Amino acid sequence: MITISKSIKSYKLIIFGLLILIGIVLHQTGYFKEQFFLEIAETHLDKWWFIPLLILITTSLYAFALPGSVMYIVAGFLYKPFPATLIVVAGGVSGAVAAYYLSGFLSKGTRTRIQSSRAFSIIQKHSDFAMLGAVRMLPGFPHSIINYGSGILKTPLFIFIITATTGFAAKGYLYATAIHQATRIDKEEGVGGLEMTIPLILLALLFLLSKILRKKLSESDPTQEK
């Protein structure tokens, strides 16, 4: 029985590692292209089930550490900024929560062994609202690392969902707006440029600034809870 239990834990760890590795590689290589989804949309865009399908696809991509950011582009091409943002948020947050629980399940045995280490404690301590929000805002940063890492660290689910919603909403709206404007003037240059990167970096800095200010206030007021 002990041997079987160890084998199961080993398989879970291997699966977990492969999901993360595949997700990062596909994210960096750009294997998932928006053109594939847009071709499908040409014949099914008017169907009632198409929007739920887009949300389900987005959910699945993020749940299994695949590059879900391609759906920013797809939603931006197909819909106006507000509905496109809603699609991104609905699929992104539900996929993030699924990844959170999946990573927690797959890393259960490993987490038990490493949670007493100093490195684990340091990372867990800094996985708060401000830090998660800042990382969510960084352009090009793989959401799969945040989702799976939060599941391993057992980040409070409420904080995880709020920061995920904020991050997907900000990125989704900026990308959808830029893409929508680009399609209206019949060109795509500028999409993903400074007009989107700078606001996201500024939002990330605001999250970090709030963390620094909170720490300063906590140090100056001994009665304040840390």
Residue entry with tokens 């739920």: 52
| Cβ-proximal residues to 13 (8 Å cutoff; 6+ apart), any chain | 106, 107, 109, 110
- Structure-block tokens of residue 87: 């699609």
Q: What letter does residue 162 receive in the DSSP assignment?
A: H
pLDDT number for residue 221: 53
Residue 169 is predicted with a pLDDT of 92
Q: What local confidence, expressed as pLDDT, does residue 135 receive?
A: 83
* pLDDT tens over the chain, length 226 residues: 444 444 445 556 566 566 666 656 655 555 556 666 677 677 777 888 889 989 998 998 899 888 788 888 888 888 899 999 999 999 999 999 999 998 888 777 666 665 655 555 556 666 677 888 888 888 777 788 889 888 888 888 999 999 999 989 988 898 888 887 777 655 444 455 556 677 777 777 777 776 666 666 555 555 544 4
Task: Give me the residue label for tokens 């960096």.
Answer: 28
Q: What is the pTM of this model?
A: 0.73
Distance, CA of 85 to CA of 172 (rounded, Å): 5
Sign of CA dihedral 106, 23, 101, 127: positive
Report pLDDT for 201: 76
